[in-house]
Structure 1
Amino acid sequence: MFKYAKFISKYVKIDFFGKHEILSFGQLKIIMMKNKLLNSILACFLVASISCREETLIANETSNANDIEIKEGTVKDGRLYFPNKESLQVTYNNLKDAEDEVIANYVDAKNIISL
Structure 2
Amino acid sequence: MKGTLALSYIIPKKYFYAIRPALALRWLRERPDPPPMDLPRLRAGLWLDPGLDEAIERLLVAKSGSSELGTGPRIGDLDRFVEEEFALACAVGGTDVDHDPDLLDDANRVFREIVDGDL
Greater helix proportion? 2
What TM-score range do you get, normalising by the shorter chain? under 0.3
Greater strand proportion? 1
TM-score (norm 2): 0.23
Does 1 or 2 have the higher relative contact order (CA < 8 Å, sep 6+)?
2
Which protein shows a greater Rg?
A: 1
